[in-house]
Each structure stands twice: as C-alpha cells, then as structure tokens.
Homo-oligomer: A and B are copies of this chain.
Amino acid sequence: MAHPGSLPLYQQIAELLIRDIAAGRLIDGERLPPERDMASTMGIAVGTLRQALKSLTEKGLLDRVQGSGNYIRAKADAASVYALFRLERVEGGGLPTARVLSVDRCAKNPALPAFGASAEGHRIRRLRFLSGRVAAVEEIWLDGAEVDRIAQGDLLESLYLFYRQRLGIWISRAEDSISQGALPDWAPPEFPHPYGTPLPQITRVSWAQDGRSVEASLTWYDPETVRYVARLK
C-alpha cells in the first residue's frame, strides 16, 4: 500500500486547525489572522484556506463574519471538541516499543479502584514509541502478589511476554475505556506536549485467569502523533 497520508490539502489544513483547538492553542473567541495573511504564512492559496475554514464552520468550531474576521467557537469543555474526533492508530508500520522510565514499589493507585487485591505493588512508567517517534506516556501497576519476581529490563518489550514468561500468568480478561486526562508531571521532556493540556487517555485493567486483577495502566497519547479523523455526522 502506497503512501497513506495524502489527504487533500484543505483537509490537512482543517485537521491542523482542529488539533490546535483540541490542544488549546486556539481558544474560544479568538480571532484568526486575516485570510490573506494566514494563507501566505501557511504557503497556500486563499481559496484553499477558505475550504478548510468552511469545513470548520460546518463543524461548529468557527464563526466567520464578513468584514470582521474568523472567530473560534469551541465550547469551553474540551471534551466536546474531542467528541468530534476519533482516536486512530498512527500511520506506518513498525512494532511498538517502549522505554522504561522507572520501576518503583509503592502503594495502590487510588485512581484505579477496580484494580489490585494487594495494598501495594509495583509502578512502572514507560515512554512508548510508534514508528520510532514518541507517542505516549504510560503508567502500569502490577499487583503486589506478583511483583516480587520483577527484574528491571524485562519490560522493554511486550508486557504480554513478560506476563507469560516471567510470571506464568494468563490474561483472561481486559477492559479498556477511553477518556481524557491531564498529562502527568512525571512525563519526560521528550513527550512533545505542554503540561496540563488534556490528552486522549486509555485506562486498562487486566485480570488473570483466576480472577485476580494483576495489571492496570493509564496511557496518555500525544494528539500530534496519533491521528484524529473527523467523525461522520
């Protein structure tokens, strides 16, 4: 399959602006530069920019008033902006890799009440890559009953392999949910996003075959490297 990322230019511009809105770089009420200036700084023609602005207007994200300017109309809660979009896999192949930032013994995470039979466990923080680029930061909690056999370096690759080879655990059930969360303060500077900005977040809890919950994770994805595609209707 050939090159996938070749959307029409005006659609690329539209998604660029939408990402700016979702990321908070364009806030509600803000007036964009004049179309002519905007187009020239973007290196595109005015007509092309206008197509992009028109699609934003149709999505309710922009007010265009003649003689005055283009005004961002994004509702205050960023969740409604995200509701218009869909989180998708990054383009290109390559196996997902990860770099372990820290492995600590610590108390149970109150943010994950569904997880954990023990009062304490191990907390692993990882930086995840897709196609060689930083894509997400991740916090993984392993149940206390299993953590004594953990060795640093086991977690560079697949967690699944770690479970099976090192712990002998069969994951029989998992639950994922998608939400929004603020980037944690321990995120490394490589993560290309300003702190405090809402990010797409996936919460996962996994159970072993005997019913114990053995693992939970919180993952924040960089909206720049993952791809948002406008949802139909």
Contact = CB atoms under 8 A, between A and B. Distances in A.
Q: Is the interface of A mostly helix, strand, loop or mixed?
A: loop
A227 B27 CA distance: 9
Interface stretch (A3-11, A100-108, A143-151, A191-199): A3-11
Contacts of A41: 2
A46 interface: no
A68 B8 contact: yes
A132 interface: no
A224 interface: no
* Copy total for this chain: 2
Nearest to A203: B173
Interface string A1-45: 111101110000000000010001111111101000110010000
B24 A1 contact: no
B2 A38 contact: yes
Interface residues of A, number: 56
A167 interface: no
Contacts of A209: 83
A95 interface: yes
Interface string A160-181: 1000100010111111111100
29 contacts: A1-B33, A2-B33, A2-B37, A3-B33, A4-B30, A4-B31, A6-B31, A6-B33, A8-B31, A24-B89, A27-B88, A27-B89, A27-B229, A28-B88, A28-B229, A73-B232, A76-B88, A83-B209, A95-B232, A96-B232, A158-B232, A158-B233, A160-B230, A160-B232, A164-B230, A171-B230, A172-B178, A173-B175, A174-B176
Interface of A: 1-4, 6-8, 20, 24-31, 33, 37-38, 41, 68-69, 73, 75-76, 83-84, 86, 88-89, 91, 95-96, 158-160, 164, 168, 170-179, 207, 209, 227, 229-233
